[in-house]
């Protein structure tokens, strides 16, 4: 058997908010089995679709800022591999229905946010939610991390004249700050 298929394809991440490399104790939220205990070929079938068994990466708490995040996650190359084989999860749904759904999510955000400062969205797809933030928010900068390069032109159109950075790297939180 190919030994590379059995190597753990996971990256260890620092806290995406404060960059701490520490965690508080053991994981707080995890599945059974934990995604990080599986080989990539075992995890791959659970990446898309709906299954009886919900397998995900464990969440740990940062001792410095208290953020709950997945410290161990797929490497960028493995994540890109999974996204490239993922079917469109909105196929058959009208764009108007998708826009209406994203609009309702944005209305919920407005209740809790001043819509100012910098904006980070992981996986904005074609930018339906982002479009609301561009039109009604007063964000100074947009960080859009979307692994699917084929929708980057859509994101550029949505961002219009706003200052933004579009990346394929959804794991590179620390590198984002140096990208302006």
Q: What is the CATH number of the domain that holds 132?
A: 3.40.50.150
For the cut 60, the answer to whether the pLDDT of residue 6 exceeds it is no
Give the pLDDT band (50/70/90) at residue 79: confident
**Poorest-pLDDT segment among 31-40, 75-84, 89-98, 107-116:** 75-84
Rounded mean pLDDT, 68-84: 82
Query: Is 69 in contact with 23 (CB distance < 8 Å)?
Result: no
In whole angstroms, give the CA distance from residue 29 to residue 150.
34
Q: Which residues, 6+ apart, have CB-to-CB distance to 99 below 8 Å?
A: 128
For the cut 80, the answer to whether the pLDDT of residue 71 exceeds it is yes
User: Which pLDDT score, from 0 to 100, does residue 16 have?
Assistant: 82
Work out the angle at residue 21's Cα, subtended by the Cα atoms of residues 17 and 27, and round it to the nearest 5 degrees.
Answer: 90
How many domains does the chain fold into? 2
What is the DSSP secondary structure assignment for residue 81, as one 8-state letter?
A: H
Rounded mean pLDDT, 164-168: 89
Residue 31 and residue 51 in one domain: yes
Give the pLDDT band (50/70/90) at residue 175: low
For the cut 90, the answer to whether the pLDDT of residue 141 exceeds it is yes
Mean residue pLDDT across the chain: 84
Residue 135 and residue 157 in one domain: yes
Rounded mean pLDDT, 44-66: 83
The answer to whether residue 157 is domain-embedded is yes
The answer to whether residue 89 is domain-embedded is no
Which residues form the domain of 68? 3-84
For the cut 80, the answer to whether the pLDDT of residue 52 exceeds it is no
In whole angstroms, give the CA distance from residue 19 to residue 89.
32
In whole angstroms, give the CA distance from residue 125 to residue 60.
27
What is the DSSP secondary structure assignment for residue 46, as one 8-state letter?
A: G
Q: Report pLDDT digits (tens) over 17-33.
A: 888 888 887 788 999 99
Side-chain half-sphere CA neighbours of 15 within 13 A: 17
The answer to whether residue 90 is domain-embedded is no
From residue 122, alpha-carbon distances to 4, 25, 34, 84 in Å are 28, 27, 23, 16
Q: What is the pTM of this model?
A: 0.62
Residue 102 and residue 73 in one domain: no
The answer to whether residue 99 is domain-embedded is yes
Residue 76 and residue 25 in one domain: yes
User: Which pLDDT score, from 0 to 100, does residue 168 have?
Assistant: 81
Give the pLDDT band (50/70/90) at residue 8: low
User: Which pLDDT score, from 0 to 100, does residue 1 have?
Assistant: 43
Residue whose pair of structure tokens reads 């520490």 in the numeric block: 22
């Amino acid at each position: 058997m190919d030994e590379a298929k059995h190597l753990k394809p996971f990256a260890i991440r620092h806290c995406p908010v404060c960059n701490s490399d520490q965690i508080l104790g053991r994981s707080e939220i995890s599945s059974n089995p934990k995604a990080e205990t599986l080989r990539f070929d075992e995890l791959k079938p659970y990446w898309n679709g709906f299954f009886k068994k919900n397998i995900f990466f464990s969440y740990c708490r940062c001792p410095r800022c208290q953020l709950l995040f997945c410290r161990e996650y797929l490497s960028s190359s493995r994540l890109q591999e999974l996204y490239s084989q993922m079917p469109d999860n909105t196929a058959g749904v009208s764009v108007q229905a998708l826009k209406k759904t994203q609009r309702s999510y944005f209305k919920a955000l407005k209740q809790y946010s001043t819509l100012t400062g910098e904006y980070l969205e992981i996986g904005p797809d074609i930018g339906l939610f982002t479009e609301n933030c561009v039109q009604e928010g007063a964000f100074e900068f947009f960080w859009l991390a979307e692994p699917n390069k084929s929708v980057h032109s859509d994101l550029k159109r949505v961002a219009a004249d706003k200052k933004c950075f579009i990346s394929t790297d959804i794991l590179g939180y620390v590198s984002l700050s140096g990208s302006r």
